[in-house]
Amino acid sequence: MSISRRTVLAVAAGATAGAATPAQAAQTSAEREPDTSADALEAAADYAVEKLRAVAPGVSAFPVGTKFEKWVFSKDGDWVGGFWPGTLWMAYLRSGDDMFRTLALDSARKLAPRRFDTTTHDLGFLFSPSWVTAWRLTGDDTWGAGAVQAADSLIQRYNPRGRFIRAWGALNDPQNAGRVIMDTLMNLDLLAFASRRTGDGKYLDVAVAHAETAQRYFPRPDGSTPHVFDFDPDTGAPIGPNTVQGYSPSSCWSRGQAWGIYGFTTMYRRTGHRPFLDTARRLADYATGVLTPDAVPVWDYRAPQQPHDVKDASAGAVTACGLLDLSAATGSPQYRRVALRILTALSETCLTRRSTRAEAIVARCTRNRPAEDGIEVSLPYADYYLLEGILRVLQPKDVDRAIDLSTAAARING
């Protein structure tokens, strides 16, 4: 099914339903949270702010991960550059301290050259938590215009024959030209933003087409997903599942599953297209069904040693954010309950509180297990999504201002 341009533009204009918004619903739910969860999340948020208050003034580049508990940096941001200013924005919302606002803006400015980068699909990761949030919280149109420039770069990676955005490689590089990965779902909201800001539906048209393709080919009957699905770039014909960061093409990389839960829910909120919501629920039901009792995901839900395997706290933080969003979108409290279990577990068992050396907030993360790259380390997106998730619970109206939790008024039957 396709979504009409008229609907795309209506949604992009920001129409909202007359019922309570997700932020309002979350505010009501937050008033009923168990004291134990609320106390753990409050303490974790305050720990995060104090850690950032100590570390952030000395950071002049973009953290990409830790080595011996100290941040390792990238000058251009790699694919994770947006998470450092995004984390600073979350700290600003939590504390009201203008130091974090200043540092967030200074960090985001360093991403300016990446607006024109056509070699990666990760422009949403780079510019949504940094420039789009800066625009929403400051009103300075420089940030909004820059984010649209990044969206212009991203849509150049769209393959109209296969209706997908290629993940990796320069536009003129045939290698990986037909490779689609779960992560890209999280980059689509940058395109939704560009359509909303400009009134031009072309950006969201691409986002919807990619999401529909991912929805068709990634989910298995049980709701699990592979990391990668390959296509013939010349014809657009499907080739089959694959993986880079998961255990195998038939396994289920937990962070990829988390990207899918969050990404499909966001696409539902931006379009009102009910099948996206149904897909998000399928993925969420699988992930919550295989979650271990300690509520911290293993790095791959189908790896041979699971559930007794290496953990990935970053997958937990992303999953929790997606489940909170999904609970608000569906009105289903069970998703919120699991999200609170995960956030509480991360807050109580995965923070760096016991180390005087640690510069990050969250420990027990896994970047790329098959490559033996980044096992039991800290990762910038774990810090960002943990704070986002906690503030979705404790300060939903503030998070709404920063990342826009609104839901489209239009509801399209599949």
* DSSP structure string for 334-382: HHHHHHHHHHHHHHHHSBSTT-SS--SSB-SEEEETTTTEEEEE--HHH
Amino acid at 44: A
SS3 70: strand
| Residues assigned a catalytic role | 122, 183
**Contact by Cβ (8 Å): 257, 246:** no
**Helix, strand, coil % (nearest 5) of the chain?**
55, 10, 35
- Tally: H helices and E strands in the chain: 16, 9
Hey, is 310 helix, strand or coil?
coil
**Residue 221 CB partners (closer than 8 Å, separation 6+):** none
Tell me the two tokens of residue 384.
């960002």
- State how far the Cα of 82 lies from the Cα of 80, in Å rounded to an integer: 6
Measured at the alpha carbon of residue 147, what is the angle toward residues 279 and 49, in degrees to the nearest 5?
80
Greatest extent of the chain over all pairs of C-alpha atoms, in Å: 56
One-letter amino acid identity for 276? F
In the block, tokens 């999401």 appear at 211
Instruction: Find, among 369, 374, 370, 352, the residue nearest to 361 by Cα.
Output: 352
Distance between CA atoms of residues 389 and 15, nearest Å: 25
The answer to whether 210 and 276 have CB atoms below 8 angstroms apart is no
Which positions ≥6 away from 31 have C-beta within 8 Å? Answer: none
Tokens standing for residue 342: 């995960």
Question: Cα(first)–Cα(last) distance of the chain, in Å?
Answer: 7
Q: Report which DSSP code applies to 132.
A: I
